[in-house]
Structure 1
């Protein structure tokens, strides 16, 4: 079934020009173009050197120095290519339960101790091992490589950030759209009744006065189910917005623009530094599916040692499959393809059952900073996307041109993080507009896309700048 409105298929516009710049009042003036170009340049900077320099190093060290305090630490392991690095939980590895009987003795000889996985749904599927000592990382790397060479399912415990390379750019101010009630480009019923779960940094606590995201439930701190409030200034609490503050609010706002009628739920799993373990993300994914999300958006991901699939996430998809078989319908998982600028797979986007999303320029050209490859299914504009942001001042350590945002702000941001929720929203819209299941909507959108080498099918949804 085609989801085309007015344009020929070659243009890759599944909804015609509903979201064209003129329709939403965007003005791509020279200042806007410069700001967006700076964001893109910051994402691309790491691709031609042996690591992330400048503000990227500041961010990485903040993550390593402040996150996972106490019994755990953050280390770096090389990816499949020499200049690629992935963040891992230091001193930890994961082993699938099916491999555990064959590797338990070797783990004991290497001084590895079994500890709780930290996720009830995964306790009988994954074994979490911990090693102590200054040489633990070298021992664990040998342990992982040796056992994988024997065919065992073993991997590091990965830190799964908002980008494979922690980015230093943040939102830049943008003029607000209409109030939610007056938002005009699309029918407010599009997406109605479709439940979209956003697994991210959480949602800003104070409701906006313009009506945007007012339907998203806020779960306060101390709730039995866990809070979903983005604390904005917590790591460190220095009076500035943290590096990934507002990310979840921004992503949710994109879904709401594309599918205004969708029921959006937001799960906080990432810190304000934009990081979580793959176990954390796996647990949140299972929870969202159990709560009957029809679409789950994951604007996060990681490259891995030797391009291996993270075991916790792989196990989570096994649980998800069992839930789906029991209830008789599938949840579509959409994930950002990453900002690595290489063909190295980024997980969870690279899992076969995930709709992986790459990033394009406003002219539907490949963005140099976007990850790409045969594992990318679809792509959308990822530069200068406008969405709901949060109030506060940006740190001069983390933003090239720090800004202060007042109440009910809008901003422009760049990355595959902001291409993915456009696709999530498009799936929700296609479901209601054409009476499709989530999986049927995915197929219809893929058929509607314009083929772009390494970027799957390109879709023009939100315009960017």
Structure 2
């Protein structure tokens, strides 16, 4: 028997209306509707405003500049309609170790050189190849296409951003919740004993005076386990918050709202420009699972040129499975379905063992900006979420109406990035509320969802705006 009611009147509300009154200013007044509508329009790119396009161009140039400083370039791969499909590290491809013996000769003929993967856990599982030249992207496109047609595990070296293609949608100031000790929508023990790892931009170094996220460990640069402090102003260091500054802090705050007793750990894999290679994300995922996270949240993802699963992330899931077999229990991986607005799979969400989460409006209707398709498992509100943010001023180059955030700031933000952590928090709550394993909690929550075509099972958790 299900632990949640599954009668038609209760479908989609596994927790009833527990969280409905938690967010100040969640009533649909005109000002709030305008804010949320603007964020949704920018994600959906439904505006022909020149400023929207210019801000997007600025963000992409900053991403390119960030990678150029590491002596690698970022290339844009375009789809059949000349739309931006994905970002890749120029001149690089990845090959699965099992395919390498059959691929090595062809790689040598194409002038590809093997280099270190850069992640110890993947050195024996992934082959990283590099080449130079003005025609490198065209040559590598043929290389990947031809070898995949022969059944080999080959992919580009993808840049995995906080959205399938970088878009200029940032948080806006919002009324804050009560101090953490006074937060009362749900039992504060929900999630107690469950470790939820957030792989993202890191956590704000400054501890908040209101007690939110005070239990999240801050790890400084130089630590052997890897720093997790969000740098806030590094891409570039210009006195303004970077385009993705505070993203990890915002995601962690959503998990804390849903499962206040959970142990949240922050892993910095992405820069404050909102990007990482799929190798970096894969390495962080392995580390989080090895550190016994029961739930891992990945509010990031990439579409791929041939809709192929990225090689590094595929290998990382193999390592995760081996870790789980050795210790005798499974972690649950939750990933954002993406903000592309189409049906192309977004990775890692599209992997079968990953819980993929799409975004809905506050009325649990499909959001135009959200990716969707048969590969989506569940969906929840992704528009106008309120959560913890960081202090600083937004850049006028990337935000239409830059805001100053002071003190213990809260923000309202839109995207599938903020739907996913609600599901991660819901899994942690279900585990403690009903004494379930992480995988059992997923099954119960999916069973309690309301079917929405292309969006899996819809769940009402936080209200959004």
- Relative distance call for 1:145 and 1:8 in structure 2 (3 A) is closer
What SS does the aligned partner of 1:273 have? coil
Partners of 2:228 and 2:328 in 1: CA distance: 29
User: Does the CA contact (< 8 Å) of 1:289 and 1:331 recur in 2?
Assistant: yes
Residue 264 of structure 1 corresponds to 264
TM-score (normalised: structure 2): 0.97
Q: Deviations over 1:142-173 (max 9, x none)?
A: 11111111111110000000000212111111
In terms of mean alpha carbon deviation, does 284-293 or 26-35 score higher? 26-35
What SS does the aligned partner of 2:266 have? strand
Residue 276 of structure 1 corresponds to 276
In terms of mean alpha carbon deviation, does 298-307 or 30-39 score higher? 30-39
User: Does the CA contact (< 8 Å) of 1:278 and 1:312 recur in 2?
Assistant: yes
User: Does the CA contact (< 8 Å) of 2:198 and 2:296 recur in 1?
Assistant: yes
Matched, 1:323 2:342: no
Partners of 1:229 and 1:433 in 2: CA distance: 32
- Relative distance call for 1:10 and 1:47 in structure 2 (3 A) is farther
Residue 25 of structure 1 corresponds to 24
**Gaps (5+ residues) in structure 2?**
none
User: Does the CA contact (< 8 Å) of 2:84 and 2:165 recur in 1?
Assistant: no
Q: Structure 1 residue 279: deviation in Å? A: 0.2
What SS does the aligned partner of 2:276 have? coil
What SS does the aligned partner of 1:440 have? helix
Partners of 1:321 and 1:199 in 2: CA distance: 18
Residue 419 of structure 1 corresponds to 419
- Relative distance call for 1:3 and 1:242 in structure 2 (3 A) is farther
Residue 243 of structure 2 corresponds to 243
Q: Deviations over 1:379-435 (max 9, x none)?
A: 000000000000110111111111100011000000000000000000000000001
Q: Deviations over 1:19-68 (max 9, x none)?
A: 10x3433343322211111100000007999xx83311211121112224
Q: Deviations over 1:250-299 (max 9, x none)?
A: 00000000000000000000000000000000000000000000000000
CA RMSD between the two structures: 1.7
Residue 434 of structure 1 corresponds to 434
Q: Structure 1 residue 79: deviation in Å? A: 4.3
Q: Structure 1 residue 2: deviation in Å? A: 2.9
What SS does the aligned partner of 1:256 have? helix
Residue 105 of structure 1 corresponds to 105
TM-score (normalised: structure 1): 0.97
What SS does the aligned partner of 2:380 have? strand
Residue 169 of structure 2 corresponds to 169
Residue 367 of structure 1 corresponds to 367
Partners of 2:371 and 2:26 in 1: CA distance: 28
Number of equivalenced pairs: 462
User: Does the CA contact (< 8 Å) of 2:5 and 2:11 recur in 1?
Assistant: no
- Relative distance call for 1:27 and 1:9 in structure 2 (3 A) is closer
Partners of 2:217 and 2:5 in 1: CA distance: 33
Residue 289 of structure 1 corresponds to 289
Residue 145 of structure 2 corresponds to 145
Partners of 1:446 and 1:73 in 2: CA distance: 41
Q: Structure 1 residue 7: deviation in Å? A: 8.5
The 5 Å alignment of 1:105-124 reads: 105-124=105-124
The 5 Å alignment of 1:77-96 reads: 77-79=77-79, 82-96=82-96
Matched, 1:125 2:125: yes
The 5 Å alignment of 1:203-242 reads: 203-242=203-242
Q: Deviations over 1:354-399 (max 9, x none)?
A: 0000000000000000000000000000000000000110111111
Residue 194 of structure 1 corresponds to 194
Residue 339 of structure 2 corresponds to 339
Q: Structure 1 residue 178: deviation in Å? A: 0.4
Partners of 1:121 and 1:47 in 2: CA distance: 44
**Gaps (5+ residues) in structure 1?**
none
What SS does the aligned partner of 1:461 have? coil
User: Does the CA contact (< 8 Å) of 2:217 and 2:265 recur in 1?
Assistant: yes
User: Does the CA contact (< 8 Å) of 1:24 and 1:177 recur in 2?
Assistant: yes
Residue 378 of structure 2 corresponds to 378
Residue 185 of structure 1 corresponds to 185
Matched, 1:349 2:349: yes
What SS does the aligned partner of 1:167 have? coil
